[in-house]
Chain A
Amino acid sequence: QSVLAQPPSASGTPGQRVTISCSGSSSNIGSNYVYWYQQFPGTAPRLLIYRNNQRPPGVPDRFSGSKSGTSASLAISGLRSEDEADYYCAAWDDSLSGLVVFGGGTKLTAL
C-alpha cells in the first residue's frame, strides 16, 4: 500500500491531453514539493518533473506538473505513443526523517 495514491492506469488517444492524479497528506505533498518519474519497462526511473512544475533539461514541454494542497497532477498534452510508460509521483515526507514516499504508479497507455 503506497503512501501516495495514484490511479493504476490512464489512457488517451494520440494528440489528446491526459492527466494523472496523486493524492497525499499534510506530511508529504501538503508541506513539500512533488516530483514525477517516468519509467519504461526494464529500465530505471527518470526524473520528469521536480519541485511541482519544473522540467529537467531534455524533458518536452508537453509534460507539466501542478500541485494544490495535498494533491498533485501530471499533465501530458499532445499524447504520443512513445509516452507509454509508468509514471510515479513522489514527495519527501516530514514523518520519515529524510525518506521520500512514492505513489503506486500509473500505467499510461496510448490507444
Chain B
Amino acid sequence: EVQLVESGGGLVQPGGSLKLSCAASGFTFSGSAMHWVRQAPGKGLESIGRIRSKANSYATVYAASVKGRFTISRDDSKKTVYLQMNNLTIEDTAVYYCTRPNGNLPEGFDPWGQGTLVTVSS
C-alpha cells in the first residue's frame, strides 16, 4: 500500500523552529518528487514547496510566503522527506501535508499523508 505519514508537528512560539518529517512506503521514493502543502484552520490549500529526485539534482522550489525560512530536504535511504521551518509566525499555523505527483495518475497528488498540525502561538 502506498502511504505517507507525517510527524513532528506541535506548539511552537513565534520566531521558533520546527522540523517535520514525512515517511513514505509502498512506492519508489527515490524516484519521486515530494511536495509539502499546508492548510490554515478553516482555509484552503497552499502549496509551499517541492523537492525533486536525485536524478533531478534534488532541486527545490518554495512559495514566496515561506522562501528563506523553510527548507525541504530528503533522505532516500530512509524514504523520508523533511520540512525545516525557521522563524515561524502566527500565519504559519496550519495542518501540513506531504504528497507526491502520482505517475500513474499524471500528475495528480496521490496519496496524501494524514497531516500534522503546527500551531504557532505565544
Contacts and interface: CB of A to CB of B under 8 A. Distances in A.
A54 B105 CA distance: 8
B63 A99 contact: yes
Contacts of B37: 100, 102
Contacts of A33: 107
A98 interface: yes
A45 B47 contact: no
Nearest to B113: A44
Given A44-B114, A99-B61, A99-B63, A88 B44 contact: yes
Contacts of A96: 61, 63
Q: Which of under 10, 10 to 19, 20 to 34, or 35 or more describes the interface residues of A?
A: 20 to 34
A99 B52 CA distance: 11
B119 to A, nearest CB: 16
Given A44-B115, A99-B50, A104 B109 contact: no
A45 B102 CA distance: 14
A104 B110 contact: no
A56 B49 contact: no
Nearest to A92: B107
Contacts of B111: 44
B109 A100 contact: yes
Given A47-B102, A97-B61, A102 B110 contact: no
B47 A99 contact: yes
23 contacts: A35-B108, A37-B45, A44-B97, A44-B111, A44-B113, A44-B114, A45-B109, A45-B112, A47-B105, A47-B109, A47-B110, A54-B105, A88-B44, A96-B63, A98-B61, A99-B50, A99-B63, A100-B47, A100-B109, A101-B47, A102-B45, A103-B44, A105-B45
What are the 8 tightest A-B residue pairs by CB atom distance, in nearest-first order? A50-B108, A44-B112, A47-B110, A105-B44, A102-B45, A47-B108, A104-B44, A97-B61
Interface of B: 33, 35, 37, 44-47, 49-50, 52, 59, 61, 63, 97, 102, 105-115
